[in-house]
């Protein structure tokens, strides 16, 4: 079954304790992205990756790191989490056709609800 | 900053009625996509319309795109209670490779 998986689904942590949220897709997609969703603010992009070893900042990258060492995985790292990073996080992936053809549909993971105390 | 902005922010209708949501954006785009999200869950892709298309249909969904007005609309016909969800538009700008989401329209369909 084609899918994007995220782990963990729920996480409660404390300020300053490093954490990693994993994301994996089994569709051989080039493009992967992380978003955070907060009430009244919609989805905001954190980082995205066009392919292995190619990553770029989105709208709200501060306090986050990513890596893309393999095509299927795109982990999100919070080196020193703070309470303002409490949010619902989504990973997504898509084929990238390039040029004006652009993206096809994005497939979203089920979300990770993070609480930083 | 958000590229797409949905209107209205919230919409409440009766089952069987049609629901129309609008999306406006600021820059030139390659394509525009609509997504649906049930409360607290992942987004699900509904339909994609490219910049050279004006209208697309998928089941009870109809999407229009007016690039001269930089706007799109999503029409859900004969709505059902199960259509209750948040609906988001997302745009891919011609100048880059990012996909940018709006803040969404919360649709409530009352039985």
Nearest CB to B92 within list A4, A92, A103: A103
Q: Answer whether residue A45 shows pLDDT above 70.
A: yes
Nearest CB to A58 within list B41, B88, B98: B98
Which has the higher per-residue pLDDT, A52 or B95?
Answer: A52
pLDDT of res. B65: 97
**From the CB of residue A105, how many other CB atoms can be counted at a distance below 10 Å?**
17
Partner-chain contact A106 B33, CB within 8 Å: yes
Residue identified by tokens 């699900």 is B44
Is residue B105 within 8 angstroms of chain A, CB to CB? no
Partner-chain contact A106 B43, CB within 8 Å: yes
Confidence of residue B1 (pLDDT cuts 50, 70, 90): very low
Q: What is the pLDDT of residues B13-63, one digit of tens each?
A: 999 999 999 999 998 888 899 999 998 788 999 999 999 999 999 999 999
Q: What is the pLDDT of residues A86-100, one digit of tens each?
A: 999 999 999 877 665
Using CA atoms, how far apart are residues B58 and B49, in angstroms rounded to an integer? 11
Is residue B98 within 8 angstroms of chain A, CB to CB? yes
Partner-chain contact B45 A105, CB within 8 Å: yes
Using CA atoms, how far apart are residues A45 and A37, in angstroms rounded to an integer? 9
Using CA atoms, how far apart are residues B84 and B79, in angstroms rounded to an integer? 9
Q: What is the pLDDT of residues A59-109, one digit of tens each?
A: 899 999 999 999 999 999 999 999 999 999 999 999 877 665 666 788 999
Partner-chain contact B103 A41, CB within 8 Å: yes
DSSP for B53-109 reads --EEEETTEEEEEETTTTEEEEEE-S--GGG-EEEEEEEEETTSS-EEE---EEEEE
Q: Answer whether residue A57 shows pLDDT above 50.
A: yes
Using CA atoms, how far apart are residues B111 and B109, in angstroms rounded to an integer? 7
């Amino acid at each position: 079954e084609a899918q994007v998986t995220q782990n963990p689904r729920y996480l409660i942590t404390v300020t300053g304790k490093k954490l990693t949220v994993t994301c994996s897709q089994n569709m051989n997609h080039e493009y992967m992205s992380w978003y955070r969703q907060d009430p009244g603010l919609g989805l905001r992009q954190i980082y995205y990756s066009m392919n292995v070893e190619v990553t770029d900042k989105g709208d709200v990258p501060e306090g986050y790191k990513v890596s893309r060492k393999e095509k299927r995985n795109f982990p999100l790292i919070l080196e020193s989490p703070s309470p303002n990073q409490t949010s619902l996080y989504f990973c997504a992936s898509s084929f990238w056709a390039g040029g004006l053809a652009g993206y096809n549909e994005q497939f979203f993971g089920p979300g990770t609800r993070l609480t930083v105390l | 900053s958000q590229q797409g902005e949905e209107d209205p922010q919230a919409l409440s209708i009766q089952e069987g009625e049609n629901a129309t949501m609008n999306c406006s954006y600021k820059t030139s785009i390659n394509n525009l996509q609509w997504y649906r999200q049930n409360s607290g869950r992942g987004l699900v892709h509904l339909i994609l319309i490219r910049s050279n298309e004006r209208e697309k249909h998928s089941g009870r969904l109809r999407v229009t795109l007016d690039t001269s007005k930089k706007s799109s609309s999503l029409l859900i016909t004969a709505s059902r209670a199960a259509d209750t969800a948040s609906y988001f538009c997302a745009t891919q700008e011609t100048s880059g490779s990012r996909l940018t989401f709006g803040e969404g329209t919360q649709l409530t369909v009352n039985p």
